[in-house]
């Protein structure tokens, strides 16, 4: 029996969503590297992600 | 101890287990063993007072101490509460699996865990140094310089490879439907925000893995030591 690794190709829309999270992650990392305590709490990360990946895009869509 | 694996493992477990699991108690189970203890391991300042365990490794993993939180019987006890008090077998099993994953993962370091408590033997592979007694910053530097960080990286890569577990379709078809918690929360929180919350632990684990690695190796230049039981530049605790 041969083990075969297969990779599902993401759609364009999947990549756009992923790109948004990458931007949010880059900002989170930049803050975390300079402010040590920012990395220590799951709740801080969850709140940050809610703002960055849901609240801001939702508000932007309403304004736009 | 592990830093990001406990955030990331629930996604892999949820995807592969044959059991019906609910994601939220699985994640709570994965965090549970450290919930009450980590702050006292590293210590906190309250005005002029510093609250810190005199022997952090003993307090965190040993007996006498809170080491029983990293045992299978502790997971079973909390699972029984979910089952008998809150009448949810799904949450009980999910918590049990998550908590067991944490306890087993932490056998990877030099202190290990008392998996079969009340038997106080520490099961340990000794793959990476336990350095909780050195304080949070040195512990982070040590962890992200040794094999522990590679263990975490495995789950980051695996999660990205299995990216479908993070999609909204997967959330709708498997996560939301499996657990009444999500429809309950959906009464106040929109679906799009629920998906963000579902992804939060993966985001947290992956992002802080990168951030700690940058902090340890780009800003502070701690040396990598991927040998067994390393890094050997830090004093590792043992049971």
Cβ count near B187 (within 10 Å): 6
DSSP state string for chain A: -------PPPPHHHHHHHHHHHHHHHHHHHHHHHSGGGGS-HHHHHHHHHIIIIIHHHHHHHH-
Disruptive mutation site among A36, A37, A52, A58 for chain B (greatest number of B CBs within 10 Å): A36
pTM of the model: 0.94
Measure A64 CA to nearest chain B CA, in Å: 18
Q: Verify whether the Cβ–Cβ distance B137 to A36 is below 8 Å.
A: yes
Q: Give kind and range of the element (H or E) at residue B50.
A: strand B49-51
Give the nearest chain B residue to A40 (CA atoms).
B208
pLDDT surpasses 80 at A1: no
**Cβ contacts of A29 on chain B, cutoff 8 Å:** 207, 210-211, 214
Measure B160 CA to nearest chain A CA, in Å: 10
ipTM exceeds 0.85, yes or no: yes
Q: For B123, which DSSP code?
A: B
Task: Report the pLDDT value the prediction gives residue B213, as an integer from 0 to 100.
Answer: 97
**pLDDT tens-digit profile of B69-122?**
999 999 999 999 999 999 999 999 999 999 999 999 999 999 999 999 999 999
Measure A25 CA to nearest chain B CA, in Å: 6
Distance CA B6, CA B35 (A): 12
Q: Provide mean pLDDT across the span A12-34.
A: 95
**pLDDT tens-digit profile of B144-178?**
999 999 999 999 999 999 899 999 999 999 999 99
**pLDDT tens-digit profile of B23-39?**
999 999 999 999 988 88
Top-confidence residue, B182 or B19: B182
């Amino acid at each position: 029996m041969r083990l075969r690794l297969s990779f599902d190709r993401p759609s364009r829309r999947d990549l756009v969503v992923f790109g948004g999270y990458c931007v949010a992650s880059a900002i989170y990392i930049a803050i975390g590297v300079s402010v040590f305590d920012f990395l220590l709490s799951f709740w801080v990360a969850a709140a940050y992600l809610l703002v960055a990946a849901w609240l801001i895009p939702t508000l932007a869509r309403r304004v736009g | 101890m592990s830093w990001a694996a406990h955030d990331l493992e629930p996604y892999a477990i949820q995807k592969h287990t044959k059991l019906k699991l609910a994601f939220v108690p699985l994640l709570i189970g994965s965090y549970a063993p450290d919930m009450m203890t980590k702050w006292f391991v590293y210590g906190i300042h309250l005005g002029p007072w510093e609250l810190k365990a005199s022997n952090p490794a003993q307090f965190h993993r040993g007996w006498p101490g809170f080491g029983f939180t990293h045992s299978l019987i502790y997971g079973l006890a909390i699972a029984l509460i979910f089952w008998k008090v809150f009448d949810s077998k799904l949450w009980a099993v999910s918590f049990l699996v998550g908590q067991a994953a944490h306890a087993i993962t932490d056998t990877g370091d030099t202190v290990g865990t008392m998996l079969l408590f009340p038997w106080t033997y520490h099961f340990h592979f000794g793959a990476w140094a336990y350095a909780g007694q050195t304080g949070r910053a040195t512990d982070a530097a040590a962890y992200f310089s040794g094999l522990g960080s590679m263990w975490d990286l495995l789950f980051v890569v695996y999660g990205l490879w299995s990216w479908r577990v993070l999609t909204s379709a997967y959330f709708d078809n498997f996560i939301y439907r499996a657990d009444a918690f999500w429809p309950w929360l959906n009464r106040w929180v929109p679906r799009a925000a629920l998906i963000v919350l579902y992804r939060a632990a993966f985001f947290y684990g992956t992002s802080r893995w990168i951030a700690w690695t940058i902090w340890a190796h780009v800003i502070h230049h701690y040396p990598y030591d991927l040998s067994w039981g390393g890094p050997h530049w830090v004093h590792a605790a043992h049971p």
